Chain A
């Protein structure tokens, strides 16, 4: 993972002060000129390009956005839950378990997500089709759709990347703190619950928002296995209207907004977490 996506820990600031700082930053003359140029470009785009498709596709775009966000949220939550044991296993697990976790992280992080996605969708999909008994079970309606495969692939991918982060976080908790907890007579489980795990979580939190943004940027791959996320809807628009640039530019704008909102929300959440050194 590139450490460049990890935002510096912000100092807690009230929204009003952040806004004031932003406005003051914008008031420099060259920035006003650049903003005007950008505005002129935007107006030219709106006036000169063909946006007539937009109203008709708006409901589908909303549905696609919902799918994108649902996939993002679900894969982050499930992936994080898998990442915890992966991190613990790599630090204190018995040797075979440690190797297994390390191998899982290495393999997933060393191969492209698109390849994993296609392996799971086409491979498992064709495998399941060989077992007629599966058709009778309650699982079959899900196995026939694309999104469970996509969610699975996204989840294990997030788990592998976050597992690596959690390994570092668990290993980075100062040993003296764990010793102090043991000296208080806490059992091993209690040390984990009260000291080791919370401390590791605080250490891992700043990188989490970077990982979540990276995960958001992976979601369009789902469109290649017929999950109708935002990107898939835009692809359909491009095929139906024969427009090249307008839908893509719209998509870029939406993802920019989405990333900005996500970064804002995650930063705000980070300032809410109590800091323990």
Chain B
């Protein structure tokens, strides 16, 4: 098994696939980061809607999170991708542009962000509920507007509670980018498969890609731990 492995296939220059793999890795990181940030924004809106919204908003947010959490990511991504590109095309045609094509990276980020948003909503909702109510009341008593209370008190105080869940979500986001390979995005997993089937060196390329994913996970784990330490400053140690 080992004697057949030709490591020169991983070379960065053209006969080797190393460069293509790294490019795919970069695309994966961009997709994950963009989708994660979009998910965070959706999550904050969703959590606020669930906690402070009217009856209809609250129910709509509930339906959104239930659907996102009950349907496989792959199916959601396909649906969002087709619906999203279709709607964008129609909107553009209605406005008079023709031959418009939605940018692949944008579409991927939108799709991942919408899925992440459902989970982020639940994480942030739980974190906001963990903030002692007296702190929010005190801010209101100071005469702060609702948005200012959110920005200055609720969200900063909820951050340490949200970090473990949001860290999990970042790990899931990096791994969810691989699902975009099924739709045809040339991110790391799809490039790896192309490289592997072109050279028939399956183990070499899949293990190399696995190492890259693992590297990303471990490095971001380290960073997240540092960030958690900073966000938890002044709070009691967990157990």
A115 close to chain B: CB less than 8 A = yes
Interface centre among B78, B165, B174, B203 (most CB of A within 10 A): B78
Give the residues in chain B near A224, CB-CB below 8 Å: 182
Number of interface residues of A (CB under 8 A): 44
Encode contact with A along B197-208: 1 for CB under 8 Å, 0 otherwise.
Answer: 100101100110
B1 close to chain A: CB less than 8 A = yes
Q: How far is the CA of A26 from the CA of B202 in the complex (A)?
A: 54
Q: For B164, give the chain A residue with the smallest CB separation.
A: A3
A213 close to chain B: CB less than 8 A = yes
Give the residues in chain A near B122, CB-CB below 8 Å: 2, 4
Given A110-B217, A126-B202, decide whether A259 and B56 contact each other with a Cβ distance below 8 A.
no
Given A31-B59, A119-B210, A252-B75, decide whether A111 and B175 contact each other with a Cβ distance below 8 A.
yes
Q: How far is the CA of A266 from the CA of B176 in the complex (A)?
A: 26
Q: Is the CB–CB distance between A118 and B193 below 8 Å?
A: yes
Q: Is the CB–CB distance between B67 and A107 below 8 Å?
A: no
Q: Is the CB–CB distance between B213 and A252 below 8 Å?
A: no
Give the residues in chain A near B177, CB-CB below 8 Å: 112
Q: How far is the CA of A256 from the CA of B65 in the complex (A)?
A: 12
Q: Is the CB–CB distance between A3 and B165 below 8 Å?
A: yes
Q: How far is the CA of A5 from the CA of B178 in the complex (A)?
A: 21
Q: Is the CB–CB distance between A123 and B206 below 8 Å?
A: yes
Q: Is the CB–CB distance between A115 and B178 below 8 Å?
A: yes
Give the residues in chain A near B171, CB-CB below 8 Å: 109-110
Q: Is the CB–CB distance between A4 and B189 below 8 Å?
A: no
Q: For A252, give the chain B residue with the smallest CB separation.
A: B71
Give the residues in chain B near A93, CB-CB below 8 Å: none
> A residues engaging B (CB < 8 A)?
1-5, 28, 30-31, 34, 106-107, 109-116, 118-119, 122-123, 126-127, 213, 216-221, 224, 231, 244-245, 248-249, 251-252, 255-256, 259-260
